[in-house]
Amino acid sequence: MRDQLEGSQAVARAVARCRPEVVSAYPISPQTHIVEALSDMVRTGELAPCEYLLVESEFAAMSAAIGASAAGARAYTATASQGLLYMAEALYNASGLGLPIVMTLANRAIGAPINIWNDHSDSMSQRDSGWIQLYAESNQVAVDLHIQAFKLAEALSLPVMVCMDGFVLTHAVEPLEIPTQEQIDAFLPAYEPRQVLDPDDPVTIGAMVGPEAFTEVRYLAHAKQMQALDLVPELAAEFATSFGRPSGGLLRRYRTEGAKTILVALGSVLGTIEDVVDELRDEGLSIGAVGLKCFRPYPLEEVRAALARAERVVVLEKAFAVGAGGIVGQNVRLALSGLPPRVHDVVAGLGGRPITKASLRGLFLDAAADRLDRGLTFLDLDRELVERELRRAGDLDRPGPHAESILRQIGVVAAGPV
């Protein structure tokens, strides 16, 4: 039965029905509502048996999850932004040790300048941490992905990060269906750890490995993550059979049949993109979209198959590699190596900048008419403001910080108008 729910509340309830035994977390916007709700459910006994650990930092949150997971408990945490960076060292340990922790990442920008709003800088910064990364395009998918994430993590003994756009999804209220406890129990079996710290059967987890075997252990980590390319679609199919709706998978094609222009994106912007694709298709433009749902491991062959027959591909991403360009764009180029489609990188929605249908429409029309630069495009960039700031700074020996100067120029102090 569907109910009108906030995304965070729905995710918390779905996670609770996955029966985590340890939840360790440190609150940070926009993830806070999720862990608050879980903490409440542990306090009232609705989620039991489960230990909720309010730790002193994100580093501790992940460290506690590592300890719990190694001791055989199903472990969960959630974070965002600087919180993810603060736990970076522990992230690599969780994946390197092969511990099936599930974490929600409520995607948020990384400072400086400090910014609490949504983009994908946080998850993209940890794309090579050895975690599987799934991206939710809607709150229903976020709910469904968490259920699949526990099963995927435990089948491979690898940690899974479920990325959902902060605020845009976490704070949105909409009709959502949370599967029942019985449905989830039937889909997700009890956790059987592949390795466990047990005083009755002692083992060491986390041995030091020197040059003689480090490469081999890392190779196995790669090989194991690549297995998810088979398992993710299998779980999505099983989920569709069990729950009666499609959710998950490696990628999703939207009206790509015969499309000359194909857009690639991740996360909640896909809904807005699909609306614009429908409008442009109605006007006769040959355009479609591909939503990447699993970014790590990277489904190279599936991306190639989905895009190979396009004339051009526009990769719209909410993060970029400073000094290099698009991140997803580089991965798409890898998939299309030697094939005809031109690939354009477009950065959009940084730090909570709204991505409007009007802007997307203009972008897609420009792309279809080959008016887009070969280089990196910043959607809705106020070029005049940038140039004014560069002129101001250029004349001064000590121009001071750009951020404060730009805020003064547009008449904004901190996050609100003067």
Which residues make up the interface to another protein (CB under 8 A)?
4, 6, 30, 116-117, 167-168, 171-175, 268-269, 271-272, 274-275, 352, 354-358, 414-417
Nearest distance in Å: CB 33, another protein: 12
Name which of 173 and 390 has its Cβ closer to another protein.
Answer: 173
Comparing CB distances to another protein, the nearer of 340 and 354 is 354
Please report which residue ranges of 79-213 form alpha helices under DSSP H. 81-86, 88-96, 121-125, 139-156, 181-187
Closest separation between CB of residue 415 and another protein, Å? 5
Looking at beta carbons only, is 29 or 330 nearer to another protein? 29
- CB closer to another protein out of 172 and 300: 172
In the bound state with another protein, the residue whose beta carbon lies nearer, of 173 and 209, is 173
In the bound complex, what is the minimum distance in angstroms from residue 289's beta carbon to another protein? 11
Crossing angle of helices 139-156 and 7-17, rounded to 10°: 30
Alpha carbon distance 35, 104 (integer Å):
10
CA distances from 324 to 34, 85, 321, 329, 383 (A): 35, 21, 5, 11, 20
Could you give the CA distance from residue 137 to residue 266 in angstroms, rounded to a whole number?
7
Residues 6 or more apart whose Cβ sits within 8 Å of residue 384? none
Min dist CB 26 to another protein, Å, is 19
Query: Minimum Å distance from CB 175 to another protein?
Result: 6
User: How many angstroms separate the CA atoms of 200 and 54, rounded?
Assistant: 29
What gap in Å lies between CA 76 and CA 78, rounded to an integer? 7
Residue 173 C-beta: closest distance to another protein, Å = 4
**Least separation in angstroms between CB 13 and another protein:** 16
Q: Give me the half-sphere count of Cα atoms (radius 13 Å) on the Cβ side of residue 231.
A: 22
Smaller CB separation from another protein, 235 or 355: 355
How many whole angstroms separate alpha carbon 19 and alpha carbon 227? 25
Give phi and psi for 84, each to the nearest 5: -65, -40
Q: Least distance to another protein from the beta carbon of 147, Å? A: 21
Answer whether 392's CB lies under 8 Å from 400's CB.
Answer: no
* Residue 180 buriedness (CB in 10 A; 0-12 / 13-18 / 19+): exposed
Q: How many residues does the chain have?
A: 418
* Beta strands per DSSP E along 154-207: 160-165, 173-177
Q: Which is nearer to another protein, 357 or 408 (CB)?
A: 357
Per DSSP bridges, beta strands 51-54 and 251-254 are: unpaired
**What is the amino acid identity at position 10?**
A
- Residue 169 C-beta: closest distance to another protein, Å: 8
172 vs 339 by CB, closer to another protein: 172
Angle at CA of residue 388, ends 387 and 394, nearest 5°:
85
By beta-carbon proximity to another protein, the closer residue of 117 and 187 is 117
In the bound complex, what is the minimum distance in angstroms from residue 381's beta carbon to another protein? 18
With respect to another protein, which residue has the nearer C-beta, 43 or 357? 357
**Which value, to the nearest 10 degrees, does the dihedral of the CA atoms of residues 49, 50, 51, 53 take?**
-170
